[in-house]
Structure 1
């Protein structure tokens, strides 16, 4: 059985296993590490689908399938992870956990090339409508990404506001500046550092949201919060 430690070994030392993970793939699954960490804590409270770790949901399908547990559609692993983490956090009254699950759901997944979009989940309907309202960011260099990613951030802001937290946190789900199509390294402007507890996209000042603070404010106008207790994220 694969573990979180196993997948890290496979990713960083591809020669250690018979089926190597190719380095010429975009790597950014740890770019927003603070949210990944919180989702892991929530997911581990109750994990009936035996998802190995939230990091798998942000990998490309070939690597993600090793940790999907009972989830039958790898394209839906990120959504399923977020949905279960949200369910667990909601049951505990944990706004921090719910917000993290929402932001995690909106994060961009790894793909094989700059400008390559990830596939949407269509086979599984989330239990939580808050999760259903959000999809993952797309590579900023992919077709229509600017509009797609802005809509995701605005929808995320609305869900965060309904929980009583700061809707501007939705901007933290943003991805990187567009890379160069055809980049042979497939790295683009991304970063990936599992040892950066905050997330290298923040500490390296690489976050490039598609929406603005003013657009977030306008999008949440009139939304009534279900809670008056915000999360711990800043």
Structure 2
């Protein structure tokens, strides 16, 4: 196992929308709390941690110190759990409160961030060890319907994680968010269970705004775009967690506590942002056949694909994917542009353009379309 210090980013400011990158303080868990564990990956999906952090700050009655604690092993999580005593449920409780706050503010992006966070992998004591699921019921049925990803080297991980992504996609669709974003909650390629260093195939870069799993192209898709489209067929905004009943079922995550896991501290978490391989680049947008309601004119990495409006039950179309409401379609269009921009930046084909600038452009794109 490898010993490292876990860094937690705590953002200042109470904002309802998923925040653009802001200055953050750095909090380090005392070294005495750290023991052998899988290499940290708490910052692999920083984008979603930032969104949950901002919305949790709006009302945090339990005094949870930071969302990153929910992704750690129980021993380290205790230091940031506030009044939460069931540490196996700190992850769910954090997502639940952030979702409640975002819902009260009418913030779809904030609700989506909470759902994505709920699906992130928790750290365990070693490569191949699955995490224990929370045994409490969430306040919000949307959060209750989503489980955390499991270590990709653990038993039946492929089928379990696929079912988790499809269930997450259904919940995203039910609140009016883009269900294809569920793929971004995924984790890394499986590591070797014989790896005594605990390194696996993870990353953990605290100041990577998007999340290193995206910027380093380490994300492994759990499902295809077509499978997600099929899973959310017939789901409209407002159907909420009832959609979960249609999700494929997978072997349940462990409900017993592993001694090695309990002694391990921080847990790697998968926290995200790179477009799934099946997502077309912004420059590959199909020619619109209706009115284009995408008004954003930013073009780092190429313009956002058109959002065409027509008649029908799912009247908005982006690159062949249809949506019930305009907000989800705009979000999808802006996300495709962001992913194309980030890919070009990482490839060095956009001179002087950073991934952070791509993210700022996506925020501006969503704002131009009235998406929080």
Q: With the length of structure 1 as denominator, give the TM-score of the two structures.
A: 0.91
Matching residue of 1:47: 60
SS in 1 for 2:38: coil
In structure 1, C-alpha distance between the alignment counterparts of 2:93 and 2:130, rounded to whole Å: 19
Matches within 5 A, 1:1-234: 8-10=27-29, 14=31, 19-22=32-35, 24-122=37-135, 124-226=136-238, 228=325, 229-230=327-328, 231=331, 234=335
Question: 1:171-215 CA deviation, whole Å, 9 max, x = no partner?
Answer: 000000000012121120011111001000000000002111111
Q: Distance in 2 between matches of 1:53 and 1:102?
A: 16
**Deviation, structure 1 residue 43:** 0.2
Deviation at 1:26, TM superposition (A): 3.0
1:142 and 1:26 mapped to 2: Cα distance?
Answer: 16
How far, CA to CA, are the matches of 1:4 and 1:153 in structure 2? Answer: 26
CA drift of 1:8 comes to 3.9
Secondary structure in 1 aligned to 2:100? Answer: helix
Q: Is the 8 A contact 2:81 2:90 kept in 1?
A: yes
Distance change >3 Å, CA 20–CA 83, structure 1 → 2: closer
1:28 CA displacement: 1.1
Bigger relative contact order, structure 1 or 2, given CA contacts below 8 A and separation 6+? Answer: 1
Structure 2 distance, partners of 1:149, 1:22, is 27
Larger radius of gyration: 2
Q: Is the 8 A contact 1:4 1:52 kept in 2?
A: no
Contact 2:170 2:235 (C-alpha < 8 Å) held by counterparts: yes
Q: Which moved more, 1:161-170 or 1:196-205?
A: 161-170
**CA displacement, residues 26-80 of structure 1 (integer Å, 9 cap, x when unaligned):** 3111100000000000000000111111000011111111111111100000000
Contact kept, 8 Å, 1:103 with 1:173, in 2: the verdict is yes
SS in 2 for 1:201: helix
Structure 1 residues 55 and 208: alpha-carbon distance in aligned structure 2, compared to 1, 3 A threshold: same
Unaligned runs of 5+ in 2: 1-7, 11-24, 239-323, 336-372
